[in-house]
Amino acid sequence: MIKSINHDPTTLSQKAVPATPQDRQTVIDLLDTLKANSQVCVGMAANMIGVNKRIIVVSMGMLPVALINPEIVLKREPYSTREGCLSLSGEQQTTRYKQITVRYQDQNFESHEQPFSDWIAQIIQHEVDHCEGILI
């Protein structure tokens, strides 16, 4: 189900708690909401639809992919960039890493460890920050 976007800095600043298989509907809602906002948004975290669970979705090519309980276990090649956020207005300066490795679970709650780079890596870092309650 497509949900409305949370703009409340208080709830967005809370650290998300681990997701469990009981949160499958939130994963689906988040994928639906990202698809509905795909013109303006390339990734979302669950707290952006008001659910304080550690779930993110990221546009990878045509396909939005869910990363559940994501953890960045390796970061390489820092650079400075500017980013916007659907929950905030304007753009902010931030440091990202060109190469990252992410440990996460897929929609079936199977574990993966996968490297990502460049644009996809940047989106993941932005959304994982949301899970930590960090806003750019």
Shorter beta-carbon distance to Zn ion: residue 90 or 108: 90
Shorter beta-carbon distance to Zn ion: residue 19 or 57: 57
Per CB under 5 A, the list member of 85, 100, 121, 123 interacting with Zn ion is 85
Q: How far is the CB of 134 from Zn ion (least distance, A)?
A: 10
**Stretch 43-82 residues interacting with Zn ion (CB under 5 A):** none
Euclidean distance between CA atoms 129 and 102, whole angstroms: 13
113 counts as catalytic: no
Q: How far is the CB of 58 from Zn ion (least distance, A)?
A: 12
Q: How far is the CB of 108 from Zn ion (least distance, A)?
A: 26
> SS3 for 14?
coil
Where would I find the H helices in 13-74? 24-36
Q: Backbone phi, then psi, for 110, in 5-degree steps?
A: -95, 140
The alpha carbon of 111 is separated from its chain's Cα centroid by a whole number of angstroms, namely 17
Euclidean distance between CA atoms 135 and 5, whole angstroms: 15
Q: List residues with catalytic annotation.
A: 127
Q: Which residues bind Zn ion (CB under 5 A)?
A: 85
